[in-house]
């Protein structure tokens, strides 16, 4: 299992009006009714709760917002953002 690059908690900030949609174990207050969210940590917890072995989950924890020369980011560039694609497969 691989979790690819995504926006990280350094840059993914939400306001308290949508806070109820996020797991409280994966956000922290930042400033002025805003919170930083760890989406990859939340995804990992969900996968482990679903029965995946944590040791088998690899994570590329690069921030797509910060690394603007490497990745596209809708949050950074809005509708002008490029698109990233992923390929999923399974082997035994």
Q: Is 27 in the site for Zn ion (CB under 5 A)?
A: no
Which one of 1-9, 20-28, 37-45, 70-78 is the stretch in contact with Zn ion (CB under 5 A)? 1-9
Which one of 4-12, 23-31, 38-46, 47-55 is the stretch in contact with Zn ion (CB under 5 A)? 4-12
CB 38 within 8 A of CB 54: no
Structure tokens belonging to residue 10 = 């350094």
Which one of 30-38, 43-51, 61-69, 75-83 is the stretch in contact with Zn ion (CB under 5 A)? 61-69
Q: Is 33 in a helix, a strand, or coil?
A: coil
26 secondary structure, DSSP code: G
CB of 92 to Zn ion, least distance (A): 36
Give the C-alpha separation, 71 to 75, whole Å: 12
CB 34 within 8 A of CB 16: yes
Exactly one of 37, 40, 63, 73 binds Zn ion (CB under 5 A); that residue is: 63
Q: Which residues contact Zn ion by CB under 5 A?
A: 8, 10-11, 63, 65-66
């Amino acid at each position: 299992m691989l979790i690819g690059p995504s926006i990280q908690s350094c840059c993914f900030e939400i306001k308290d009006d949508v806070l109820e949609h996020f797991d409280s174990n994966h956000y922290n207050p930042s400033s002025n009714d805003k919170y930083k969210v760890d989406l990859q940590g939340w995804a990992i917890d969900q996968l482990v709760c679903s029965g995946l072995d944590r040791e088998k989950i690899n994570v590329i924890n690069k921030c797509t917002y910060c690394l603007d020369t490497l990745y596209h980011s809708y949050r950074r560039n809005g509708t002008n953002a490029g698109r990233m694609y992923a390929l999923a497969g399974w082997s035994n």
